[in-house]
Amino acid sequence: MTTPEPTPEPRPEPSPGSTPEQSYADRVFRSPLGIASGVFLLVLAAVFAGDAMLRGEGRTPWLALAGLVLAVPLIVAFTIRPAVYANDRRLRIRNPFRSVTLPWASVADVRAGYSSEVFTQEGDKYQLWAVPVSLRQRKKAARRAARASQDDPHGRTSVTADVRQSAARTAPTDQTVADLRELAERHAGSPEAQGEPRVRWAYEIIAPAVVGLLLLVVLGATG
């Protein structure tokens, strides 16, 4: 007697007005150099503070502990925490001490000068800590564009192209900004991309840093 094979359950057909869930998957932009620097600094802080707490005398272990409580959240805030998340509905910016959620309809422009910034329709400006500008990489990209223009007999490559022309400016930061600007322009009119900006302070970073600072102040005042 043979066992009948299980019949797969029928999958519901998506409605005409529905959007596939995977279209809302986040694209994440982070700084690999910043993360590597943060890990290195955390290891360094742990080694020095651990040595002071194990071998120190008097109030030295307490000072080392307070310094570690203060330093760890600050290192995490400025190196590991920054990130930019973008999908079809909104842009979410995670900076050192706060997170900002911007529906695409509220975004007026994304620019990269000496820093990467996003501007809202109300005129507010938020810096993208996770997308640092490297003038060195920008100069290298300009040199590559100049060499390409010399090899282009028809002059299709512009040496003076601005950030909006991503084909001519290949610096990583400029390309990221161009991608974010394209997402904003493409989805600003989408019904799912409407709404007001939301800001949330990173109390999980601020609270331990304040505790560490208070411990240092108390230890210093009672010394």
Average pLDDT over residues 41-59: 94
Is 134 exposed, middle or buried (CB count within 10 Å of its CB: 0-12, 13-18, 19+)?
Answer: middle
State pLDDT tens for residues 172-197.
Answer: 888 899 899 999 999 999 999 999 99
The pLDDT assigned to 11 comes to 41
Per-residue model confidence (pLDDT) at position 149: 61
Banded pLDDT at 2 (limits 50, 70, 90): very low
Render pLDDT for 57-106 as a digit per residue (tens, 0 to 9): 889 999 999 999 999 999 999 999 999 999 999 999 999 999 999 999 99
How many residues appear in the chain?
223
Whether the pLDDT of residue 9 is over 60: the answer is no
Instruction: Say whether pLDDT at 49 is over 90.
Output: yes
pLDDT in tens, 98-157: 999 999 999 999 998 888 999 999 999 999 999 988 766 666 656 666 666 655 555 554
Tokens of 138: 């920008």
Count CB atoms within 10 A of the CB of residue 172: 16
Average pLDDT of the residues of the chain: 82
Q: Report how far residue 35's alpha carbon sits from residue 29's, in angstroms, rounded to the nearest whole number.
A: 12
147 or 44: which leads in pLDDT: 44
DSSP letters spanning 101-161: EEEGGGEEEEEESSSEEEEETTS-EEE-TTS---HHHHHHHHHHHHHHHHT-TT--S-TT-
**Is residue 204 predicted with pLDDT exceeding 60?**
yes
- pTM of structure: 0.75
Q: Which amino acid is located at 134 in the chain?
A: S
Number of CB atoms found within 10 A of residue 31's CB: 21
Answer yes or no: are the C-beta atoms of 181 and 210 closer than 8 Å.
no
CA separation (Å) from 165 to 100, 150, 204?
27, 18, 39
Pairing of strands 107-112, 116-120: antiparallel
pLDDT of residue 114: 87
Closest alpha carbon to 221 in 70, 73, 59, 72: 59
